[in-house]
Chains A and B, each alone.
Chain A
């Protein structure tokens, strides 16, 4: 589980010795995020977002649990109890704004974390399982965020719930039954709100469990690094404590500054004013938009306006495409057959990587705009490109590309030479 040169946990205090025999949690921590975990010395700041994502999860759980002490998951009181939190509960405004903006911050951090994975090929062997669990986490995060947004029972809450649960009605034959089973009625109502509250409370703890698996499976090969060259010798790594504890601590400080600016000075910047209007099943808001982090996927959903191949209805196609846009990530480790991990040494892949980033930003922009021309047409073209990237471009690029020469080792990439390796392995 670690490199042979990693430091061993050796408790000296009698209590710690006793503890190590009964329940070796200090040993686990030492080996996971302490001096016993060896990490490549050349990690750049993109490797800080995993730790920050963990911080976001903690912020969401802490603020969420206290909000639940004041919130009522019943259509008659949900909206008012949310306003009660904002106006009457001590520090309620801060806890609610902290939770709402915490969700956005969480997605910013996780999108950058995934961006790192795409650019540096972190999804490749031997870290496929880390990646697969990451995609599972992302799906769980989307479900959690969606249900959380329904809880204040404002106009966007209600219509968001209606539109998203309506997606399941697209499934042939059993769709309507599934949809009614999900919402517990013919349209979102008290049964829906109540179960969403229950699940919204539960899912973050499920995420926590999957995060533990994510890190467990990461710690078997250890972290990758910006060169994508695997660790070869002791000079390639440094212990997590103190080096990366200090570096992660520094970015936590930066993160908290930006987060506090959002919470205290522009708490509604990312929200939608319509959600301060109580839910009204008789009146659709002029322009239903999900939260910004769903925009690219929402744009793909809306791109299907024509029936497909004469027998797949447009609605079903849209739903399938939206889910496929994420599910395709599960296959990425096998679609990309290039043995070189890092985009820094893949001149062709790197270009298409940036095109994909721009493509997703365009999709996001269209997803947040009304369903009108030219946005629909642009989103359609961008959706086509999105799938082309995964199913055509990545496999072809990975077989025709001529990668740049890789450094011999991490140490060589940092120092320009690698004595230890030159003496030993380089025969």
Chain B
């Protein structure tokens, strides 16, 4: 009886007053706690992108028909991709900017491949909240910096697709890509 009620008796207590029951309590609660956290892990992890979504998909884009001043839209990872052939004037505009004055400082050179500085390849996903900016399609407004304009909350990108005005924090993302030949680009 006395033991069941948890009352300290010489039988269950060692010299320092630590009872066997305390040990059992701590061991049981710790085991249950660790078990609980272990179960939580898969429950949380299941929501992350699954293997098929993560499987690197790559896309080949034929750019032979894109004239200077034109752009095309393609799909990469189920999101829009902009491929733009810059005119010499647009390149000059991009290079004339004082890079240190930019919100996300990058030069056009850093955003393109050597020898292909006229090919600006970016995601068509506004870095604010993810709308598709205008400016790649025929006749769409390009915004006051001649690049892209996001109609959702008014972010304006320049001819290097760098953020210049509005709420977006970053330049349009440049995905990993390489030129397979002078007219074909492999994205991803």
Interface residues of A (CB under 8 A from B): 159, 162-167, 169-170, 180-182, 184-187, 189, 191, 195, 281-284, 286-288, 302, 304-305, 307, 313-316, 318, 370-372, 376
Contact = CB atoms under 8 A, between A and B. Distances in A.
A302 B153 contact: yes
B148 to A, nearest CB: 12
B78 interface: yes
5 contacts: A186-B77, A189-B78, A315-B128, A315-B129, A371-B151
Contacts of A371: 151-154
A122 B4 CA distance: 49
A283 B129 contact: no
Contact of B73 (A184, A282, A286): A282
Interface in B159-182: 166-169
A187 B77 contact: yes
A372 B151 CA distance: 9
Given A162-B129, A185-B53, A305-B154, A315 B77 contact: no
Given A284-B151, A314-B169, 15 more contacts: A162-B129, A162-B130, A165-B130, A166-B130, A182-B47, A185-B53, A186-B49, A189-B53, A284-B132, A284-B152, A302-B167, A305-B166, A315-B168, A316-B169, A372-B154
Contacts, number: 90
Contacts of A287: 151
Contact of B78 (A163, A182, A187, A307): A187
Contact of A184 (B49, B130, B152): B49
B128 A281 contact: no
B152 A288 contact: yes
Nearest to B167: A314
Interface of B is mostly: loop
A184 B47 contact: yes
A402 B78 CA distance: 62
Interface of B: 47-50, 53, 73, 75, 77-80, 103, 125, 127-132, 151-154, 166-169
Contact of A187 (B48, B79, B154): B79
Given A186-B49, A191-B49, A287-B151, A163 B131 contact: yes
A376 B127 CA distance: 19
Counting chain B CB atoms within 10 Å of each CB, the highest count among A180, A302, A314 belongs to A314
A285 to B, nearest CB: 9
Given A185-B53, A302-B167, A286 B129 contact: no
A284 B78 contact: no
B132 A282 contact: yes
A299 B116 CA distance: 42
A166 B128 contact: yes
Nearest to B134: A284
Closest 4 CB pairs of A and B: A166-B129, A313-B169, A166-B130, A163-B129
A400 to B, nearest CB: 38
Contacts of A307: 103
Nearest to B79: A187
